[in-house]
Amino acid sequence: MFANVLIANRGEIACRIIATAKRLGLEAIALHTPADRGARFTRLADRVVEVPSYLDAQAIVAAAKAAGAECLHPGYGFLSENADFAEYCAIEDIVFVGPPPEAMRAMGLKSSAKAVVARTGAPVVPGYYGENQTAKFMRERAYQLGYPVLIKAIAGGGGRGIRRVDSHIEFEAALESAQREAEASFGDGRVLIEKFIASPRHIEVQVFGDTHGNVVHLYERDCSLQRRHQKIWEEANSPALNVEQRMKIGEICAAAMRKLKYRGAGTVEFLYENGEFFFIEMNTRLQVEHPITEAITGIDLVNEQIRVAAGAGLSVTQADIVFSGHAIECRINAEDPRTFVPSPGTITHFHAPGGLGVRVDSGAYQGYKIPPYYDSLIGKLIVHGRTRVECMMRLRRVLDEFVIDGIKTTLPLFQDLVTNPDIANGDYDIHWLEEYLAKTAV
Catalytic (active-site) positions: 285
What is the 3 state secondary structure string of the chain?
CCCEEEECCCHHHHHHHHHHHHHCCCEEEEEECHHHCCCHHHHHCCEEEECCCCCCHHHHHHHHHHHCCCEEECCCCCCCCCHHHHHHHHHCCCEECCCCHHHHHHHHCHHHHHHHHHHCCCCECCEECCCCCCHHHHHHHHHHHCCCEEEEECCCCCCCCEEEECCHHHHHHHHHHHHHHHHHHHCCCCEEEEECCCCCEEEEEEEEECCCCCEEEEEEEEEEEEECCEEEEEEECCCCCCHHHHHHHHHHHHHHHHHCCCCEEEEEEEEEECCEEEEEEEECCCCCCHHHHHHHHCCCHHHHHHHHHCCCCCCCCHHHCCCCCEEEEEEEECECCCCCCECCEECCEEECCCCCCEEEEECCCCCCEECCCCCCEEEEEEEEECCHHHHHHHHHHHHHHCEEECCCCCHHHHHHHCCCHHHHCCCCCCCHHHHHHHHCCC
